[in-house]
Amino acid sequence: MSPTVPSVPRDWRVPLFLGGASIPFSLVTYLQSGSTMSLWPVVIAGLIAGYLTDDADRVGARTGFVGGLAVFWIVAEMVLLVPELTGPWWFLVAATGTSVVFAVLGVALSVLLAAVAARVGGWLAQQGGRYRPAPEA
């Protein structure tokens, strides 16, 4: 008997694909600069997701969440640097807590940007893209 592979819910397919595809591009921008990460790949993924789907708000937020997981690369570097810091114990705890807050804010910003971009993509689809009715003969 072969193991069954769980299927991905239909409303998560586009966000997982596009958000996941944006992660390497975001990481490349961070690795090239060494200090800043661009979320433009997540914005572009949100725009495409909004254009391709009917529920732009939900799909955009989900795409931003998946694409925003790239922020954890920076957070991992921050947490790995904490043991090298010197100072009282409360300072190390505060540094770790700040890393967690940074992660939450980074993912939230990614969700917001992708949701706005998805709304624009949905609007573009309605204006002249996917939703244009076929001309009558």
Q: What is the pLDDT of residues 113-137, one digit of tens each?
A: 999 999 999 999 888 766 555 566 5
Work out the mean pLDDT of the chain and round it to a whole number. 87
Number of domains comprising the chain: 1
Instruction: Give the count of beta carbons closer than 10 Å to the beta carbon of residue 109.
Output: 15
Beta carbons within 8 Å of 42's beta carbon, 6+ residues apart: 19, 22, 26, 63, 64, 67, 68, 70, 110, 113, 114
Dihedral of alpha carbons 12, 14, 18, 20, sign:
positive
pTM of the model: 0.82
Reading the block at residue 99, the tokens are: 């890393």
Does 4 fall in a domain? no
Does 135 fall in a domain? no
Does 3 fall in a domain? no
- Percent above pLDDT 90 for the chain: 50
Beta carbons within 8 Å of 92's beta carbon, 6+ residues apart: 82, 83, 85
Q: Is the pLDDT of residue 27 over 70?
A: yes
Does 15 fall in a domain? yes
Does 1 fall in a domain? no
CA–CA separation, 95 vs 38, rounded Å?
23
Q: How many helices (H) and strands (E) does the chain have?
A: 5, 0
Does 133 fall in a domain? no
Does 137 fall in a domain? no
Q: What is the pLDDT of residues 74-98, one digit of tens each?
A: 888 888 888 888 888 888 888 889 9
Which residue segment(s) compose the domain that 122 sits in? 10-128
Phi-psi bin for 36: left (phi > 0), alpha (psi -120 to 50), beta?
A: beta
Does 24 fall in a domain? yes
